[in-house]
Every structure is written in C-alpha cells, then in structure tokens.
Structure 1
Amino acid sequence: MAGDTGMAGKVALLLWAQTLGLTGAQTTHLLVDPPWVPPVKWDQVKLTCQGLGATTWYKDGQIWRQEEEDHVTVTESGTYTCDRSGSGLSPPVTVSDDWLVLQVPAQALLEGDTVTLRCRGWWNNTVTSVSFNCEGKELGRLHDGTELTLSPLQLQYSGRYHCKCRVKYWMSEKFWESALVAVTVHDLFSVPVLEGPPEPTEGSPLILRCISTPSLLRPRTPLLYVFYRDGQVLGGPQGSPQLLVPGLGVSHSGNYSCQVRFKGGAVWKSSAQLRITVHMPVANATITPSPLSHQVRAGDNVTLRCSVQVGSAPVTFTWLHNGKEVARGSLLELRDIDVGHSGTYQCVATNQLGQDGHRVFRTLSPELALEVTPRSPWITVAAGIGGTLLFLLLLVAVILAWHLWHRVAARNHQERPPPDPPEEGEVLYTHVVVTKRAGASPCATTLQDPQVTYAELWGHQGRPREPSDIYRNVL
C-alpha cells in the first residue's frame, strides 16, 4: 500500500505541474480540492475536469461516469482521469487510503515561497513523535505537531520526502512510514549573467547588463538588481537590469558582478565575476597628405592630424612643438614652412571633465620628427640668373625705345616748313644748313664751291641785315 501511495503522490505532482503549464502536452486537467497531494479519500475529495466538450470520467482505467457536470466527489480510493470531447484525456490523480500519508501543497513550488508539509494518519488517527526526512536525511522531529514549514524554499530543497511517526490504533501503538513524495522547487529566476565589454577604452561609456530570466510560473515577479565592483556597490538596488557608467577611467578596472533579489528579499542570486580592464586610448598623430616624408623642403605646406578612439566623449587636442604648446585642434596646418619649423611634434588628447568633476583621461601621441631642409643652391642661382637676365632685357628695351623716340623726333623736325619772318622787336634766329660736295676740300672758298648753301638773315625789328653784319657773327 505504501508503494501505491508513493506512485499516487508522483502522479498528483505531475497533475498540478501540467495544470500550471509546466509540461504543455495536455489541455485537459484535473483540479483537486482540498489542494493537497496526494489526496486522501476521507477528505471527500472534489475533482474538477477542466477542458472543452462533454465529460467522461474513468476510474482505474474503466468508464466510471458520463455526465455533463465537470466535477465529482470521490469517496473511494483509486486512480481517476477525465476525458473532454474537445480537449482529450487528463493526467491521472490517485486518491490514497494509506495508513500514513505525507502531503504537500498541490501547486508549483518556487524558491522563496513558504511551504508546509503535513503527516497524516489513516482517517485522522492521532500520530506522535513525527519526523520528516528528505533523501534519507532527517530534517526535524516533532513530539506534538504533525506539520513542518519550510521557508524560504531553496532549490536544494528539491528531493523525495517521507515522514515517520507513532500511530495509536485501538489499544496499541505502531510505528509507520509514509510513501515517498517527490518535491520539486522551481527557479523564481535564473542565475544572472553579467554582460559588458571586457576591454573598454578610457573615456568611453560602460554599459552593464544583468540577465536573469524570471520563471514562467511567475513571469511578473518584481526583481531588484545590484551591481558591484571588487565587492563594493556600484549601483542599485534598482528595477532596471542595466547600468550605465558614463565615462571610464583606468581606476575603473576591476572585477564586476551583479546580484538579483526578489523584491521581498527572501531570494537573491549573484552572477559570476566579470573582469573588466580599462585601457588608455592611444592618440595617433599623422602627416597628411600621406604618404609624405618627415623630411620636407622650405616653402612647402604641411598638415598634421591627430585622432583618438574614445567613444562618444568630447575630446580636446593640443599640439606641442619641442614640448611647447603651439596650437589647439585636431589639425595643425603649417604654411610656407622654413627651417624654424623643424623639431618634434606631439599632440595631447584630453576629454572633458566627468560627472564627478575629475579628468577622465589625458594621453600623448608618439613624437613626430619633422626636418625642414632649405631649397637647393642651384635653384637659388638659377633664380638669381633669371632675375638678372630679365633686368637686362628690360634695360635694352628702354634704350631701344629711347633711340627710336629720338629718331622720330629728328625726322619730324626736318620736315617742318621755314618759320615766318620775325616781327619787329624779336630776337634774330639763324637757321643754317651746311652741305659739302663729295671730294671737296674743306678749305675751298671759290664761288663754284660755296659752304653756305642756304641762309636766312633777319635784322632787328624785322628788317634785313647787311651782309657785313653776317660776317661779324661768323666764327
């Protein structure tokens, strides 16, 4: 009989598991009232068949009743099932008639809940010195009571339970032991897993997610989340499973974990630790256009560019030339450089202050050596020669223009007509044209060889002068 009762307890547990949707294979279910597993016949158990269509009742595998009502009251021990024409056959429920029965609530047991186990004698006979056992280990012994309360339930409480006691029967006492009853404690929520970037960059935001799935038996269970770094509370308790750290510093490296708590505080679970190492960002200084030698000539234009990967944090760039600040911004443009621009260049990347008022990061780029060489001397000489030749060409052009101008002026002067006789009182002007005959002696004075071929003589006050006056003016 004890073995049959144990089987009945297991079947009844399966029943309420399916009733709450744990198996999902059946759509027709049997509900037990009073809600204890296994039920006993002296409680006048009421069975309710849930499903669709007309109801047919079975007892020990045989048709028991066919009626429209979906519930019956059981007064005999046995195994009962019901069939609904629209939803099929239900799981079986066994009503016990054992001498000693251990009963558990006919409901899904979740961690954190409070559950009561009770040990009952046949037809409520008095029992004493009751002890409760799980997997052969005694949990407790009661001298007067028959019920054991477990609170809060934990997953390790799952197992096979039974009770032992002394039973008064007529004028004697006997020691009885109940059949085994399987008790399963379900997760209220799963063990959390912490997610986050294992190697973020300093200055970037850190987003941590604590993943813990609530049980399907109680999906709307209110949970609270707490985040830790190296054992110290970083954030929470809070209702959100996500935590944002706006700007990371190197000091934020450490072992992170999260904890999920039931709102009542009875159940809590911690995740495994996640090691997060915050790395310094590396500023990268380059010369553009690329590729370009770090050796440039005087007069060239050079652009230096600085960049850094820091997430979304605003970054300020400062340029150093030989260790001294010369400019700000991600670009440094050097126009028409000379030898004085030679030296080492370095950029400093710094982000804005964090929310707690401290600098989040400051990083230096590798040094960039820039050598400015003067232009080639041959180019300088060529430039000087070119300037000289240009000057000479301009000078020749000026001289030619001057000679041309004078020739044109002389030609214009020869083609002018003789001037009018001077008025009286004007000063006498003499215009003499002297020509020589080819081969003539410069000393010839004969009339056939005159030296003066044309002369215009005018006296003072507009009258002609005498010839004797002419000779007085000839040298």
Structure 2
Amino acid sequence: MQACELAALILLTVVSCSRQYEGLPKTTLTLEPPFPEIFTGETVTLRCGVEGGSAGWKYLWYKDSEDTPVLQTAGRSITGDSYTITAAAVSDQGQYCCRGQRGDQPLYSQLSDKVTLTVSEGHPQAVLTLQPAWAQIFTGETVTLSCEMEGGSADWGFKQYRDGREEAGCSDQYRSRYGDSCTISKAQNSHSGVYWCESASGQERSNAVTLAVSNQWMILQTPPQPVIEGDTLTLRCRVRTGYTATRVDFYKDNEVLQSQAGTELSVDRVSKSDEGSYKCRAWRRMRGSCYSSDSEEVRVSLRERPQAVLTREPAWTQIYESERVTLRCQVQAGYTDWRFTWYKAERNGPVTQDYYSSIDGDRFTISSATGDHSGEYTCKGERTGNPSYSKTSNALTLRVSELFSTPTLTVLPGASVWEGEAVTLQCGAHINKQGTQLQYRYSKDNGTVRGAGSQDQHSIPAAGLRDTGRYQCEVEAAGTGLKKRSASVSLTVREGRPKPALSWEPAGEIFEGDTVTLSCVVEGGSGGWRYLWYKDRQGAPVYQTDSSSGTGAGYTISAAALSHSGEYWCGAGRGRNTSYSQYSDPIWVNVTALFSRVTLTASPGATVKEGEALNLTCEAAVKKKPRPELHYTIVRDGEPVTNSTDSALYSIAITEKSHTGSYTCAVESQGVEKSSQELHIEVQTSWHSAAAAGFSVGFFVILLIVFTLLLLYHKIRGFPCITGGKRRERSDQNQDQAAGGVELSSQAQQPDSEDIVYSAIDTSKHNNTKKGKNLCKLCL
C-alpha cells in the first residue's frame, strides 16, 4: 500500500472512531495495563464503559474501522465490558474503539475515543513476580511484589492500575518498599488491580501482573497469567481459615474436570486446548445439611513457550585451535533468573566445564579451543517457577580447525645408519593459519637433545653409537601455548662399515640379447645409498645408481653381448660426507652366443641353367632353449629379396640370368643379428637357346645382303618393278593426268621374324616424254 493511501486510511479511521452521536450516552475505553506499547506475548485488556452504568449493555469492539466489529477468536475473548488479548502479536496493534447497545430496538452509545495499541517484538527488560506465586489472595493476607532486571537497575517504582486509573503504587499504610520489592502486609479489596514496575526514567518497565484480593470464603488461585505452553498448570481451591470443605469440584468452561477431596488440581504440559475459564465448587456441611459455593471464574490464557537463542562470539564459524570462543544462550521471555544447560550432539548429556572451558550465567566460554570442541551445540533455559524451561535453541555448529598439523619426525638417511654417517632429524608440520610462527624442540629417550635449535631440522654430522635411541619432536605455536608432539622414531647406529651383497637375475645361463640385472643390497636395508659398479678390476666404476627405497639398487644390462662377460662387484656410499661401505664379493657373469653359426645353401647348386628351379635355405644353430623366434632376411648384391619370420626357404621356380649374383642370409632374434658367408649363384644359358639366337642372327644377315643387292640393281636398271622374279613394263598413254609419281611403301619385320619383307622406293618425274612414261606403282 502506498504511503498516501495508508495515511488516508488512518485519517478515515480516526474520523470514524471519533464520530459523535448527539443525545447518546458517552463511552470510554481504557487499557489494562495502561501501556500504549506492549510486547509480543503479553496480555492486555480493553475495558469499555458507558456513562450512567453498565446494566443491560452489550458491547461492540472495532479495530481500525467501525464497519466491521471485532469478533471473539482464539486468544481474543470478549467478557462483559472487556476485550482481552492474550499473547499479543504484532498483528494486534492498531486503533481500537467501542460502543454499547441494549434493548430490543437497540439503543447505541456514542463511539469511544480511539485508543492506539502498539505491539513490539521482544519482551520487557524487567520481570515482576509475586510471592506467594498466586494471583488471588484473601483479604488480610500478605503478598510481595519483586522487580528484577538483568544487570540491575536503580530507583524502581511500583505502579498500580485499578478501575481505569493509576493508583499510588506502594505508598499507603499497608505497603512498604524495600529495594526492588513491595510488600502488602494486610491486603484489602483496594489493593486489587494491575501492577508493574518501571525505572525512574520510564525507559524500562516490567510485565504486568494482575492481583485479585477477595473477601469471599472461597477463591480459585492460579499462577500469574499468562501460563507458558508445556508447563504444569496448578489450580488451588482455597477456603478462608475457619471454613472446611468436604469435597472440591473443578470446572473448565462450566464442565466438570475432576471431583476430589483435595484442594489442588494439576494439568501437566498445558497446550492451547487448556485455555478457558476455570472455577471451583466447594462442599461443606452445616447443621446436618450440605451446602456448596462457587468461586469466581478465572480465565487462564497461554503463551507460547519462549525460544532460547544461541549466538557465538566471535560470529564466524571457523576458528582455530587455541583460540577463544564464547557461546551465549538467551531467552526472550521477560525473566532474568534463567539457568542454562548446554548440549553437544555427540554427547549423551549436558556439556560440563573442563580445563579448557567455563560456564558463567548465560555464557559458555571455551578459552583454548581444541578439535574435541567441534560439533553441533544447543542450549535450553530453566527456571524454578513457570515457565520451568524454554524451548531448545537453534543448533550452532562449531568447527575447530587445526592451527598446525601434528608434526611428523623423519630420520634421514634412515632409521638404521653406520658409524660416521651424517644424520638429519626433520620435523614437519603444516601451518593452516597464515602468520603462525612455529618453534621446534627435540628429545631423545624423553630427554632434551643437546645443541638442538628451534628450527625444523637438527643435524648430527657424524653419528656414533651413543646416538642410538628413540627421538621425538615437539612443535609450539608462538604466543598460544599450543603444543603438539610427534610419534617417536627409532635410530640405530651400527658399528663399523656395511658389506653389500651382490646377486643377479636370471640365475641361469645368460645368452646374447638377454636382460640381466645385478642387485646390490646393503645390510640393514636403509635407503639413500649411492651404488657403484665395477668390472674386471677397472679403477673407475662403470655405472652408478641411487636408491631411496631401502631395498637396494640394480644395474641392468638390457641386451647382453659377449663383451659383457666378466667379473663384477659393487660398493655403496651415502651422506653429505660420502661414507663408503666395503666392497661386495665379486661374481662372474658369462654371456653365451645365441647362434653358433648361420649358413646359406643352394639346391640343386650354386650354378644352374636358365629355366631351372633354385632353392636357397638359411639355417641358424640356436643354443638357447626353448628356441626363440627367428627373423630371416636373404640379400642379393646388397638388396633384400625376402624378409620373413615364417620360413628360412627362398625358392625361384624359373631362373633367369638376372638371378645371378652374390647371396647372404641374416638371422635376428632378441636384438642379436648374424649373417652367413656369401654364396655366388651363376645362371647359365642352355644350347637350344643359343641355337635359336644364332639362326636369328644368320637370317638377318642374309636378308640384309639381299636387300642391298636389290637396291643396287634397281639403281642400274632405272627402277624396274620386280615381282615373282619377272620384269613387267607398262605403258600408259594417259600419264598426263598422273600426279608425277607414286610413293611406294614397305614394311619390314624384325630380323627374328619369317614374315614377308616390305621395302619402299620413292620415284619422281624424270622423263619429259609426252607419252609412254614407265611408272612402277607397286613392288610386291
């Protein structure tokens, strides 16, 4: 709703509530207690009065508007001239007015002046209590009102409100004030009313308590209202001294609850359904007759059980070991005499104070947090009277992180060393909070190590037998007092120098191409050694390895060769001062050739005739069992002709001259390769091939001679035309139309062919005779 709209609504409400009705009786509206501002959970009564008396009047109540009357709902009751709100909520605040009506043709009174009621979140800071804790007493009895406030407050004043006006409080002859309490020694009817206390400045006030002083012979006593949900409600039916009741009946909303000889009724763990009007009826005998009387009705209202609120100082959830943290439990219920109980989810019961923590009032303080303080916390308030306890608070999780980790002590180069070796004690701790400074201390067999500083390392330059023992380191965070100790670590110092043991794998016969590993192990198994390998009495080591695992180091020959055969031994050293061990006993490593020989053979032989078959076989004599896989390569004049792991045979079905050459075969396995000696293969020409070749050459020569003679003859005879060995001449009288010459063509087959040979002779016009030119067109 816009601000202007809200202002207009309030203005209309004010106008409606203040509207005057001429000639009608006036109406007044008062608040009990007379607080324009109350707190949530408190009880307030609006009382409506009509000028001239209240006989026969019924009352209508309005809130913020006279258009719709306020109806009786849960927690809001209308009784006679009063409208009571128990356990007020923020929604109850507003502007109230009332008026009366009576008669069959209703006569209305004027609307009352408006009364503004404000309901604020929270609770009054001071608490007013009664002693004895009953809101109803007989005339002549004594009652004490006490005002309490957390932290204390000076100059409290006690106020009384009765019949729409404020009374003198604690100032008549029957009332005496001492400190924060007011005692009424002989209560009168005039002492009935609503009481509260407030500071001189008026800024702090307590809750309101209604006190009823009765001169009847019987009253129903209840605790001050409202009663807290979950508490025990005790009703007490009292009769004045001198009267005796034979039986007492208790009623709620005019229905019998219980009839008994006793005078008290307890209702455990009250809830909203227990709200209502209560009274008691007492029976007595007088002169042989049985009489009964009813007490005045007392309305019992309930208020929700107060909630405990748990907070933390500092507010953040992440804290570190040794830091201070305070948990505070508060109950917003207007009482100050709470006792608090703290709970931790991981425990089967309340948390108690110990060396690291303390409990003071509403505070649980952990002065030096540890990991054990991590967890989910709750709290609850308790009182001796009502409410006897609060609701359990919200859960608050506290996480205590390590300021630094538990230190770990490491002995380098190992837990077992030899005399004269350098030893380093390394104390390691991880810092989780920046800026934390750590200090280190070292102990041996529970005694302080001499010469050890406050750093994370302590060195023993040359260990002696006296340095054998169990060591620990302790780490402290500067300025916190937080200390942590490492687990103990043993250090053994051996006398003399170690002698390594040398072995190799595999332990059987070693062939070319095998992998063999020599292992050098120092007695005791400590790590950090550097291993030196020697062969055949050479002065310098042939190999050097490191080992940090403590199980020794290996010298591996991945592809053994015959040159690796020989005598081996090892030595070891470690530390900054390079303390060396003794030499190991030597061992002999023998590498056997994988192939004894590789041969290449030819079948039927190294000399073959063209057209014959030829088989070349590659053979290798392998000593290793089981026989490894072999790879064969056959080479002719430096070029591979076959490459296979399947077969050692190279076959040529029909040889040619081109197969002549020098052949070798190579065999490879396990990275070892060996070749055979060269084998020369000769492919010879056969007799029928030579005869065929000779015939072809002779025929070609004869044909060439004949052709040459023909050319000479043609030149001499004037180009005659020869066919079938006879000359043929032809005269043509129409040669004038000839083109002047005919081109003759021929085709010649290769010398080896027996086909017809064609020759071509080109003629041109040489005669100028008119007729009778002889022209040879074609020679066949």
- Structure 2 length-normalised TM: 0.24
Q: Which has the larger radius of gyration?
A: 2
| Bigger RCO (CA 8 Å, 6+ sep) | 1
- Structure 1 length-normalised TM: 0.38
Which structure has more helix as a fraction of its residues? 1
